[in-house]
Amino acid sequence: MLNRYITLAIACLAWGSLVEVAAAQHQRSYEFDGTHFAVSIERFMGLEYTDFEGPGGDDFTARLFLNGSEIVPTDVARLGFDVFIRRLSIGLGAGVTSEELAIVAPRVGYLWGLTPQFGLWLRAGAFYAATPDPAPDYFGISAEALFAWFPYDVLAIQFGPTLNVGFGEDESPDYVAIGIPSMGMTAFF
C-alpha cells in the first residue's frame, strides 16, 4: 500500500514539473510580457441569430466581408484598438456604415495562450450605437469568447461566439444577438 502512495506522489511531482515546462513553452514575449498594442478588424464575417423582443420575430443573418447584412447595430464590422498589460487587454471597438450608423464599444479582456499557435481571448464590455432618425439608438452589453490562431508571431486570426444584448430607446424593441462564429484579425505591436 505504501508503494502505491510513493508511486502516486512521484507521478504527481513529475506531472507538476511537466505542466510548468508546457506553460512556459506557449508564453511569447508579445503575448504576455510588458505592455503592447493591438489593432483589429472585428466581426467582418460570421453568422448571427437575432431575437427581438415584441413584434419583429426571429431573424437569422449571415454576413461576409464588411456588413453584408445589418439587422442590428452590433452586426457592423469594427476597427478595434487594445492595450495589453501582460495578459489583460483594455480596448475600444468602433465602426461606421454608409447608412450613418455608428457604434462605439469599450471592453476589457484576458488572453490565455493554449499552445504556441492558439490562444483564447475572453472579452466583455458595453456598446452604444447611434442610428439616423427615426431609427432608435441602442446601448447594451457584449461578450466574446474568441479563439486566436497565430500563423505568425504578430498576427492572429480570431473566431468564436459573440453575445450582444441591446436595449433600445423609448419603445423600440430590445434584442439578443448571438454570433456563431464571428471572425476577425488582429495585428500585435
- 107 lies in some domain: yes
User: Mean of the pLDDT values across residues 74-101?
Assistant: 86
User: Mean of the pLDDT values across residues 68-73?
Assistant: 64
CATH number of the domain enclosing 108:
2.40.160.20
Q: What three-state secondary structure class fits 86?
A: coil
Alpha-carbon distance of 103 to 52, in angstroms, equals 19
User: Mean of the pLDDT values across residues 77-99?
Assistant: 88
Q: What three-state secondary structure class fits 131?
A: coil
Cβ neighbours for 157, distance < 8 A, ≥ 6 positions apart: 148, 149, 151, 183, 184, 185
User: Mean of the pLDDT values across residues 106-131?
Assistant: 90
The average confidence (pLDDT) of the chain is 78
User: Mean of the pLDDT values across residues 12-29?
Assistant: 51
Which band of pLDDT confidence, cut at 50, 70 and 90, is reported for residue 13? low
- 61 lies in some domain: yes
Alpha-carbon distance of 66 to 136, in angstroms, equals 22
Whole-prediction pTM:
0.75
Is residue 21's pLDDT more than 60?
Answer: no
User: Mean of the pLDDT values across residues 59-82?
Assistant: 69
- 103 lies in some domain: yes
User: Mean of the pLDDT values across residues 144-165?
Assistant: 90
Is residue 66's pLDDT more than 70?
Answer: no
- 43 lies in some domain: yes
Which band of pLDDT confidence, cut at 50, 70 and 90, is reported for residue 181? confident
- 5 lies in some domain: no
Say which residue, 185 or 44, is predicted with more confidence.
Answer: 185
Is residue 14's pLDDT more than 70?
Answer: no
* Grid-cell match 506557449, residue found: 26
User: Mean of the pLDDT values across residues 166-188?
Assistant: 83
Q: Which domain holds residue 79?
A: 28-188
How many distinct structural domains can be found in the chain? 1
- 158 lies in some domain: yes
User: Mean of the pLDDT values across residues 29-56?
Assistant: 74
For every residue of 92-128, DSSP letters joined together read EEEEE-TTS-EEEEEEEEEEEE-SSSEEEEEEEEEEE
Which band of pLDDT confidence, cut at 50, 70 and 90, is reported for residue 58? low
- 13 lies in some domain: no
